Amino acid sequence: MAGPKLAAREASPNPSAHKEHKARKKDFNKGEMQLKKLLYGFRALLAGSAVVLLAIAFSPPRPAKSGPPGNEPKQPPIQLSGEAAKKYLEQPGEGQSLMAALTAARFGLQHEEHAPFDEKSGAGYAAMSHDQNLNAWFAEDGVTVRPSLPETKHDQAWSMALRLKRYGYGKELVDVPPIVSRNVKANRIEYVRQSKRSESDFTNRKSQIEDRKLLEWYENRPEGIEQGFTLNERPERNGVVVGEEPLRVLLAVTGDLNARAKDGGWIELADSHGSGALGYSKLIAMDADGKQLAARMEASADGREIALLVEDEGARYPIVIDPIMAALEKKLDANPNVQTDARFGFAVAIDGERAVVGAWREDVGSSADVGVVYTFTRSGNTWSLFSRNNNGSETNDQCGRSVGISGSRIVFGCPGANSGAGRAFLRDVSNSSLVELTPPPGGLNDAGDGYGTSVAISGNLIVVGEPGHDFGTSLLDTGLVFVSVVNSDGSISSVSVAGSTANENFGTSVAIDGTTLVVGGPGAGAGRANVYTLDSSGEVTFSARLQPSSGNAGDSFGNSVAISGNTVVAGAPLDGDKGTNAGAAYVFVRAANGNWSQQQKLTASDATANISFGADHIAIQGNTIVVGANAWDGGTPPFILKDDDRGAAYVFTRSGTVWTQQTQILANDGARGDNFGVGVGVSGNSVIVGARAATASGVARAGAAYVYRLDCVPPYGAAVNTGFGTRTLCPGEFAGFGMGFRGGTGSETFQWRKNGVNIPGATDQLYIINSVSASDAGSYDVVVSNSCGSDISAPVTLTVYSFTLSPNQNFGVSGSPGIVNVTSTGSSCSWTAVSNASFITINSGASGTGNGTVGFTVAANPNSGQRTGTMTIAGLTFTVSQDGTNCSYSIAPTSQTLDANASTKTVAVTTNAGCNWTATSNDSFISINSGANGTGNGTVTYTVAANFNTTQRIGTLTIAGQTFTVTQGAAPGLVANVSTRLPVGQDPNALIQGFIVQGPAGSTKKIIVRALGPFLQQFGITDFLANPALDIFDGNQVKVASNDNWRTTQVGGLITGDQFAEINASGLAPTNDAESAIIANLAPGQYTAVVRGSGNSVGTGLVDAFDLSGASPAKLVNVGTRGLVQPGDGLLTAGFIVQNGSVRVVIRAIGPSLTQFGITNALADTTLQLRDQFGAVVRENDDWQSDPTQKAELEATGLQPTNNFEAALVATIPPGQYTAQVRGKPEATGTGVVEIYFLQ
């Protein structure tokens, strides 16, 4: 499977612009998932402490030997090589077994009677670290390491031994316990260290008593030789030790190398000439509860000891100490074409065994800054130059300013070509093909557009950014992005996506993973990152706009973006939380429903001002993020080398939902001004870091790219597979859940969960339920963890079909036949029925599948008292009660008449003591809350649901054998929608709509309020409000919700989360992105919706509200709108929809009485018309007192206007759509109000 799809780009020559990009993709490095139960011969507290030794300088590994098969089946041998062989070995089954065998052979330990380099030594185990070119000898006195060198380099040989020596607190250290047992398996050896205490120390104990235990182990891995240990108990503190002293674990260093501390907290083991040979980085320490402990490393002044220090106060033992390694594998450069100021390493990307590096200022012949793209390949741990491409042909083409890679396909940009219009190219290194990616027709770029400033690729989908694209003269530097699809026939088709505001620089950064695209626009306020989804043809659909929760204008959020699966990380290099322009990176995650939310804000642990953290360089794969800080200054706080700009890169890993910085990567030969970290990429356990001004092959400021190996990568891509059973089962069936994941180290642990709670003992890669029951139904996931992080799989729902039995029955004294209805949610689920009482005989339905019926007979009861018996049907117990000779029943009342609202009532049951009875509902809208059965006198409580039908309904209950009847009235009329259209001016002539919600305490009315403008264009309104903004205020004039552009939610007040999906699902989403919408749950009270034009623009707008909760007891009882009324089409219009039944309304057109509220331009005289959906006048009025009959009706409601020149009407109207229209008389201009009261 293809590795991560990454994209990187060069920063602008102007460091403050930060308009370069690089994106990264996840690496599927585990192959297909297996459903295989794992057997663990030994688990040392799920993890051990680890110190990994990795070679910094080495020669290429020797090729592995091969020979004829020994005893193979008679079939043609498989002959594969290169990538095909690699893919075969990653397959489950035979291929994977072969891969495991090869790994064991390559890294396994071999017992020897003496060390290869010392015949006088005792027995031990030899190993070869092929990928690191190290020979190792494991013995009880530690590990000895030598480099594997060819004959010509034997003069460079060295030997180094590392031995666990002492531990404790302060200077009061004790020797580690002696080794008492040893276990060897494949590439791992374990020593159990344990001391003994003599009988004299204790009384009534055995002669030898086990004391503190320590596990020390070594493992030969592709990443290097790992030494680890776990402390099971807290060492004793001597009385002279200060309580706050950290735990100290001492390692002795002998041989030709000495340890020395380096800036950034890592240790280097160097030879007598000062050349680094081995190294490791910062520590991660965890206690038994998984709590991370502060830890650090120190080297003694003579270089002969390494101390691991852990702040263990308050920790629960055992503890684990685990350093995260970033070991240099190779420093790449442009040799033999190294040039000063070529900016090699400005843009980098890596995918599996391939890396691509841009040198955008490399000269070609006499042409300056043409730019060159370099491709490197890796075999084992040896990197070699594969190809060198310069598709530019002119000065300042800047090819390689951005690069991306996905498998064998490489994409790169030349944004300086054609006077800055830009070009971009796609190259397939598997066949050396080259294609220019040209914009589609209508998307031609102009000088300065910067097409190719950013690029990204995932499979056959390619993205190219053009952040300088202008749309006319008013939308300069808005930006544009092109999405291209490589079709099956090799042709390429493209579409474009545009930014929305001036100076947004949309397309400064791009990233793509699968069918999800992220585009950064750092120039819009604090900055933004838009998320889109793509179909197989390349059509693009907007999904979300990501913005930082704590961003400020000018932060340049979105200057860099990267994506892996459902996680996006975006850089904000000018964020000032940790110092002026210190920078930050924000992580966002996508939920199962498609909504995005911010997960965490990341900053450098040693952040200072102006380090450019997250500027143009950010990468993610699974649960690992790499962030560059190319302006990081060397030194140790508080002694920072000002404006040093040597640069750094930071590695973060995620455990669950929390990201933690694991290590800081610094170039081992870093120097002032290198800008290490200007480009970063991650693939598997490999990290590539560009340094645009590093010295390379002796040439100053040529630039380089460093490849590192991380010794620990968190698992990611965890997924549950239900291959051992379906996810919807009948009771008693088998359920099996397997899981697979990617990444990791091979020492992962597992914890299955049900509904988010750990399942005790469920810690294998496979979870089995042999016989499911209803209680097993739920949501299952698994947490897979290692020492540097964890991943949680997407949940899988197990549904267990269920049976229900009905009805409950009470039989008379004489007995009679009866039936039990068996209802199954699964039509294929079988069941049986048996009687457990001698007076109950099953006549039919002794077995069945799915729904069915059990027929039975109850014999006469000769006793005076009641009796009960049971049947077991479909695994459930069904109880039959039968009256004795002394039982009779009555109920009161025997019927109930109710209105359409929901209500709860009771029925009293009267009978003799000891007489059993039951109560059942015969209609779905009536439910029994309590009293479903009883003995003697009792009460039945039932609830009737609200009736939304326009006709009454009747239902019944059967209580103690009696019929109880419920009659419920029809639903009243319902106001489902209100809307107002009016010219929108600047304050105070905004469009203002007020409304009142009435209802019982605790009730809410859920509505969607919209502010529309462009929508009106289809109705011939040419002066529509182009960009309406919407605010909602409560009765105290406190703003409770806001929105400007409905796709972007403004969280706050009544809005607690992203509303895009809910608005979209309502069927009422605005048709234009510039229009606004808010969904709100409103408690009873008064509210005002205010519509203004964004940027003080003006035009005709419409505000409307739709009822989304017809079942709620809360109702819209009043709506009023204030606005500027003008002649002609500038009238004030209020629309509403009546549903279910007739509604009595009072409508008022208010004008002159507004002057008492300080409105100076109020209409002096108003007229009012009510029209139906066909435009016919239902009723009209001019001066409310002019109609004596209507005047009396209005006065009876108490809603008559206070001024005789104001119009009003009262009417009872049937279901339908209506419009109330207010004009000034005669064709006057002024502020007016239309009010509609719903008298329900």
Beta strands in 899-990 (DSSP E): 903-911, 916-921, 926-930, 933-935, 938-944, 953-959, 962-968, 974-984
- The residue ranking higher by pLDDT, 129 or 9, is 129
The dihedral region occupied by 1173, where left means phi > 0, alpha psi between -120 and 50, and beta the remainder, is alpha
CA dist 366 to 361, 396, 704, 962, Å?
13, 12, 23, 105
> 1154 — phi, psi (to 5°)?
-75, -20
Mean pLDDT of 443-454: 85
Q: Is 1212 exposed, middle or buried (0-12, 13-18, 19+ CB in 10 A)?
A: exposed
Would the CATH topology of 980-1125 be identical to that of 1131-1240?
yes
Token pair 């006057």 is at which residue? 1228
Residue 892 scores a pLDDT above 50:
yes
Residue 5 scores a pLDDT above 50:
no
Read off the pLDDT band of 906 (50, 70, 90): very high
What does the block give as tokens for 508? 């400064």
Residue 1192 scores a pLDDT above 70:
yes
Mean pLDDT of 1128-1133: 81
Residue 200 scores a pLDDT above 60:
no
Type of residue found at 265: G
- Relative to beta strand 962-968, strand 895-898 is parallel
- Relative to beta strand 492-498, strand 1076-1082 is unpaired
Tell me how far apart the alpha carbons of residues 569 and 546 are, in angstroms, rounded to a whole number.
10
Record: fold of 6-29+329-444+453-713: Methylamine Dehydrogenase; Chain H (2.130.10)
C-alpha atoms less than 13 angstroms from C-alpha of 1050 in its C-beta half-sphere: 16
The pLDDT value given to residue 53: 37
Tell me how far apart the alpha carbons of residues 1202 and 1181 are, in angstroms, rounded to a whole number.
15
Read off the pLDDT band of 812 (50, 70, 90): confident
Classify 347 as helix, strand or coil. strand
Read off the pLDDT band of 947 (50, 70, 90): confident
Residue 962 scores a pLDDT above 50:
yes
What does the block give as tokens for 238? 């001597």
Tell me how far apart the alpha carbons of residues 428 and 432 are, in angstroms, rounded to a whole number.
5
What does the block give as tokens for 768? 């089995």
Q: How many residues does the chain have?
A: 1240
- The residue ranking higher by pLDDT, 38 or 322, is 322
Q: Residue 65: how many CB atoms within 10 A of its CB?
A: 6
The pLDDT value given to residue 1166: 93
What does the block give as tokens for 916? 């059993």
Computed on alpha carbons and rounded to an integer, the radius of gyration of the chain in Å comes to 39
Residue 124 scores a pLDDT above 80:
yes
Read off the pLDDT band of 786 (50, 70, 90): confident
- The residue ranking higher by pLDDT, 553 or 809, is 553
Residue 979 scores a pLDDT above 80:
no
Give Cβ neighbours of residue 916 (< 8 Å, ≥ 6 apart).
810, 866, 868, 881, 883, 933, 934, 935
Flag the least confident range among 324-328, 509-513, 1141-1145.
324-328
Read off the pLDDT band of 648 (50, 70, 90): very high
CA dist 66 to 71, 74, 105, 832, 961, Å?
15, 20, 12, 63, 87
Tell me how far apart the alpha carbons of residues 563 and 487 are, in angstroms, rounded to a whole number.
23
CA dihedral of 617, 623, 624, 627, whole degrees rounded to 10: 30
The pLDDT value given to residue 185: 73
Mean pLDDT of 400-420: 95
The pLDDT value given to residue 58: 26
Tell me how far apart the alpha carbons of residues 225 and 126 are, in angstroms, rounded to a whole number.
12
Q: Residue 466: how many CB atoms within 10 A of its CB?
A: 31
pLDDT tens by residue, 467-503: 999 988 888 999 999 999 998 888 888 888 999 899 9
User: What is the residue-averaged pLDDT of the chain?
Assistant: 81
- The residue ranking higher by pLDDT, 49 or 928, is 928
Flag the least confident range among 57-61, 287-291, 795-799.
57-61
Q: Which residues pair with 784 in a beta bridge?
A: 750, 791
Residue 217 scores a pLDDT above 70:
yes
Token pair 């490489």 is at which residue? 410
pLDDT tens by residue, 184-198: 877 778 888 887 544
- The residue ranking higher by pLDDT, 552 or 277, is 552
pLDDT tens by residue, 1201-1217: 999 999 999 998 888 88
pLDDT tens by residue, 342-351: 999 999 999 9
Q: Residue 1192: how many CB atoms within 10 A of its CB?
A: 11
- The residue ranking higher by pLDDT, 378 or 20, is 378
CA dist 1170 to 429, 430, 966, 980, 1149, Å?
73, 74, 40, 14, 11
Which superfamily, per CATH, for 889-968? Immunoglobulins (2.60.40.10)
Read off the pLDDT band of 279 (50, 70, 90): low
What does the block give as tokens for 1161? 């331009």
The pLDDT value given to residue 761: 92
What does the block give as tokens for 1003? 């009730």
The CATH number assigned to the domain with range 980-1125 reads 2.60.120.380
Residue 986 scores a pLDDT above 90:
no
Type of residue found at 498: A
Which superfamily, per CATH, for 803-882? Immunoglobulins (2.60.40.10)
The CATH number assigned to the domain with range 1131-1240 reads 2.60.120.380
The dihedral region occupied by 1106, where left means phi > 0, alpha psi between -120 and 50, and beta the remainder, is beta
Domain ranges of the chain: 6-29+329-444+453-713, 51-57+94-317, 716-800, 803-882, 889-968, 980-1125, 1131-1240
The pLDDT value given to residue 893: 96
The pLDDT value given to residue 1031: 93
Residue 743 scores a pLDDT above 50:
yes
Residue 396 scores a pLDDT above 90:
yes
Which superfamily, per CATH, for 716-800? Immunoglobulins (2.60.40.10)
Read off the pLDDT band of 284 (50, 70, 90): low
Instruction: Identify which of 1027, 804, 841, 842 has the alpha carbon closest to the alpha carbon of residue 920.
Output: 804
The pLDDT value given to residue 67: 33
Give Cβ neighbours of residue 915 (< 8 Å, ≥ 6 apart).
866, 883, 884, 886, 887, 888, 889, 935, 936
Tell me how far apart the alpha carbons of residues 584 and 605 are, in angstroms, rounded to a whole number.
11
As a whole-number percent, the residues of the chain with pLDDT over 70 amount to 82
- The residue ranking higher by pLDDT, 69 or 1153, is 1153
Tell me how far apart the alpha carbons of residues 159 and 157 are, in angstroms, rounded to a whole number.
7
Question: Which helix (H) or strand (E) element contains residue 715?
Answer: strand 715-721
Mean pLDDT of 936-953: 88
The pLDDT value given to residue 985: 66
pLDDT tens by residue, 1027-1073: 999 999 998 889 999 999 999 988 888 998 889 989 988 888 998 88
Residue 667 scores a pLDDT above 50:
yes
CA dist 957 to 921, 924, 942, 1092, Å?
5, 11, 9, 56
